Each structure stands twice: as structure tokens, then as C-alpha cells.
Amino acid sequence: MTISLTRGFRALVACTALTVVPMAAQAEQFINILTGGTSGVYYPIGVGLSKIYADGIEGARTQVQATKASVENLNLLQQGKGEFAIALGDSVKLAWEGNADAGFNAPLTKLRGIAAAYPNYIQIAASAGSGITTVADLKGKSISVGAAKSGTELNARAILGALDMSYDDLSKTEYLPFAESVELMKNRQLDATLQSAGLGVSSLKDLATSVPTTIVSVPAEVAETLGAPYLAATIPAGTYEGQTEDIPTLAVGNFFLTHEGVDDETAYLMTKLLFENLPALTAAHQAASAISLDTALDGMPVPLHPGAERYYREAGLIQ
């Protein structure tokens, strides 16, 4: 999902002025936010949250870490190497179950929920000259499906499987981050890229404005075959340059998570400030406009953190 796949921490994100009244928490509280590649949606959302938390939690030092996204984020949370993460719902479910094929060698029982976030849309973009318009047209073509065992790659496997296809049906399968996939397509070295992200992801905007691009349809019946957490969805016309029609696809919910070792007060403040600063988060990326307190508990695959639960009781969502 990014040109750089370094596992090292990103530089400390500078705090900008927000209209947030600082709230008390433990002194020198460190909050490392696990995101995804810099060309995806997780990263700017994480940057927005880092500013909110740095300004709103007294004594907090925040940092944004670019990762390979969902699967890596969940494993890092389990190891206590992050305090907040974003991940796809199907990845969270598989992590809780300990699905080894998905990249989880044992159940990740330390994971705790903060909130349901916004949906990720399965977005398949193909070069216009490839002739690809539906998933079935991918047979015999080359495609990048995201980093191996990433949330995006798990989505790719599931969708192909629902249509009785596999990577064996493709001429070539690349496991590349979003931006690198796009660069190969610009250079005519790849027919398509599958990217699971919020609408308007920068990598696909870049692709569509650079070369003639087709947004590929995914039949609604695939959602019925796969079941929850997959849902039928639509990429609205005009989302990307040259996209003149609505395109059917699938969506999978994202979740904000933490782990059981984060103290209750910090988890409470992270949850509270998240919902009190949604306009600032939407300014970081438009995908955040779909985050709502009304749906904050929908489909949560893991137990809530007690700190988050306290906030939801105060907000009247839990009796």
C-alpha cells in the first residue's frame, strides 16, 4: 500500500492546533497509531487521529507508523507494539480465531475494540486496453493483490474463491503495495490492481488521471456467497477520472482497535476524542465522513475495551 515498506516508526507527527480541550491522562502517555501505506486511507486517518490525541490528551506523545495494514497491525497490537490500530473486519475476525492461513499463528486474544469505522470498498482498477470489465475477465491477466496476507490480499482470495477462481487462473500475481502497483500499471507491466480502501484512495486517483482506466465490477451475488462481513456496495460515478457510471462492488467494514494492556482512561479518551472530533478527522480524509456514533458498535468482532465501553455507557449506547 506504499512505496516504502519499512517497519521502522515514521517520524513523530507534528501537532497542529485543534479546538480540543486537553483531557487528563497518565503523564507521558505514548500512543503509537498503526495504519497502512502512505498512499492508502489508513495513514491519513491515523495522522488526523494523532493530532487529535496529541492536542486532547494531556501528556500524550503520538506517533503514526506506516505498516502493511490489517494483518500486520493486528499482530503488532497483540505484541503490545502499538496502542491504536485500524484493520478490516474480516481480518479482525480471523485474528481472533487464530487463522494461520490468514497470517495469525494463534488466536490474538489481547485485541480489544474501540469503534466501528468506515467501510473499505473493494476497488479493482484495470488498464482500459486490457479489456477487463468484470472479475471474470481477470482470467489470464496480471494483477497485484496487495502485500501477501494483508487485509487486501485476503479480500482478493475470498472474491476469486467465491467465483470459483484462484491465483492459478491469472497469468501473474504480484503482491505489491498500492502505489507500486499503480506505477507498474502506468508502465504497462500490469493489467490490474485490487485495492481495498476508502473511496477516493489517492493511489487510484493518481492512476486514473495518468492513464485510461476501467473500474472493474464485482457482482452483488459475490457478497451473498461470502456473507458477513462482506456487503454489496457501489462505487459512485465520478469517484475517479473517466468513471462515468456507478460500479457494483463489495464493501468490508473497518474497525478501530487497541489491546487489553492499554489503561482504561487512555482507551476512554481515545474513544471520546474520536467522536468529538469527526469534522477534523474528515478533513484528514473524506472516508472518515462515514464514521458515526450511531454505528460505533455495529459488527464489532472482538470484546470492547472497558475504557471504550465506559464512553458508550455515558453516550447511552450501552445500558
Residue 150 has a pLDDT of: 87
Mean local confidence (pLDDT), 147-151? 85
Residue 143 CA to residue 170 CA, distance in Å, equals 8
- The residue among 206, 235, 252 that closes a domain is 252
Q: What is the pLDDT confidence band of residue 306, given thresholds at 50, 70 and 90?
A: very high
Residue 318 has a pLDDT of: 95
Report yes or no on whether pTM surpasses 0.75. Answer: yes
Q: What is the mean pLDDT of the chain?
A: 91
Whether residue 157 lies inside any domain: the answer is yes
pLDDT in tens, 90-102: 999 999 999 999 9
Selection from 204, 41, 201 nearest residue 127 by Cα:
204
Percent of the chain with pLDDT over 70: 92
Residue 34 has a pLDDT of: 98
CATH of the domain at 191: 3.40.190.10
**225 and 138 in one domain?**
yes
Whether residue 87 lies inside any domain: the answer is yes
Q: What is the pLDDT confidence band of residue 27, given thresholds at 50, 70 and 90?
A: low
As given in the structure block, the three cell numbers for residue 212 are: 485510461
> What's the domain count of the chain?
2
- Higher-confidence residue of 288 and 148: namely 288
pLDDT in tens, 206-243: 999 999 999 999 999 999 999 888 999 999 999 999 99
Domain residues for the domain of 146 are 120-252
**Is residue 110 scored above 80 in pLDDT?**
yes
- The residue among 252, 268, 299 that closes a domain is 252
